[in-house]
Amino acid sequence: MGEPTFHIVGPASSLEFAQMEYLGEMLMRNLPNIMCRIVRVHPSDWRAYASEVCRLQGFPPELAQRLAPFAWTGAGYLVGGAADFNADCRRKYNVGFDGAYTSETWTSITNENADEAHKLKALETAREKGERAPRALPKPGAGAALGQVAIDELFDGAWRLAHGAPKSWADEPLGTLDAPRVAVLMPADASFVAHKLFDVPESLLFLIAAPASAPTVDALEGIAYALTELRVSALLVLGATQSPQLDTAIAIAHAKMTGAPYALLPSEAIWAEPMSAAASNVLSSAPPSASAAALRTACAEEWLRAVERRLTTGLEVTMALYRARELHIACALVDNDAPGRRSVRRV
């Protein structure tokens, strides 16, 4: 993975950081060559963190006292605060955060960010106090390799074959595992049962439910628990070709393309806006002959790729382990178009 185009850092309680975070994510969704490293810092840690960044990057020390949040380029050029970053992106890429949400929605997103930071801080504090042993792996980078093996075995049925099971795990379980091997981020309203999709014991999977499989605050808390407490090194993001959230996202994408009005609750914006952006990417470039089913599948796949990008480049809880090659992340789409018929494939 190369040097990020932009580094965006700020305290989780800052509304301006929420705006810069949104803009960084929009850049990555719409411009494949752009990569943003986004670091959300607990408010109590911000001053020390910003001072260390200034020291390492050669920025004026007083910057840590007067500017929060701020951004700089991969080449080390200081862009500035939220207004500076917005103006720079408007000038270079014609993308900005102004007008994206109402003030109430920005406040809701900021509260979500702060809540997430407090929960992650509590987990870190617990680990520092020795409530759980530190993460241990055979050698540096082994986690991703182990995680990839777990995902591969999940998809090719090796778990059942390796244990000599003549029948389905669901029909004739042969015991449970000591701990889950794969964390699964999946739709909260899923009409399918994850372990039955793969024909494995329930104990193999640690399930994390979220609207549209989005990395919400509660989902990130579950992911953090799986990675730090359960020592899981494989994260699978599951999507579906049929879901109310996908319907909403596609409807919003159509509304944006035609200029039609649409309304969202603040609680929906955290997943509906980015999901509709993924749908817009598909719909704006789809051939006229594309069927509705093909478009739905393409929109679902694009959304899964957007979630994967956020997990690998925009969220500290997963990004650090992913970059250290201690975590393998994969995506899969469940075809649930017809009642009673389910199939799953990698994306």
DSSP per residue over 232-287, as a string? --EEEEEEESS-HHHHHHHHHHHHHHHT------HHHHHHHHHHHHHHHHHHTT--
Task: Indicate which CATH number applies to the domain containing 319.
Answer: 3.40.1050.10
The bridge status of strand 205-210 relative to strand 182-187 is parallel
Domain boundary among 101, 134, 167: 134
pLDDT in tens, 80-94: 999 999 999 999 988
- Same structural domain for residues 212 and 196? yes
What are the tens digits of pLDDT across the range 140-167? 456 777 788 788 778 766 444 444 443 4
Task: Quote helix, strand, coil % in the chain, to nearest 5.
Answer: 50, 15, 35
CATH number of 35's domain: 3.40.30.10
Q: Which pLDDT tens digit goes with each residue over 23-69?
A: 888 888 778 788 888 888 888 889 988 998 999 889 998 888 888 89
Which of 134, 164, 194 lies at the terminal end of a domain, its last residue? 134
Note down the domain range covering 236. Answer: 137-347
Are both 119 and 172 inside the same structural domain? no
More confidently predicted of 136 and 191: 191
- Calculate mean pLDDT across residues 14-25: 89
Which of 25, 31, 36, 26 minimizes the C-alpha distance to 3?
A: 36
User: Residue 159 has which token pair?
Assistant: 């778990």
Residues 101 and 149 in one domain: no
Residues 160 and 22 in one domain: no
The reply to whether 188 and 315 lie within a common domain is yes
Structural domain count, the chain:
2
What is the model's pLDDT at position 302? 92
Same domain for 187 and 258, yes or no, is: yes
Q: Are residues 73 and 183 in the same domain?
A: no
β-strands 234-240, 328-335: how paired? parallel
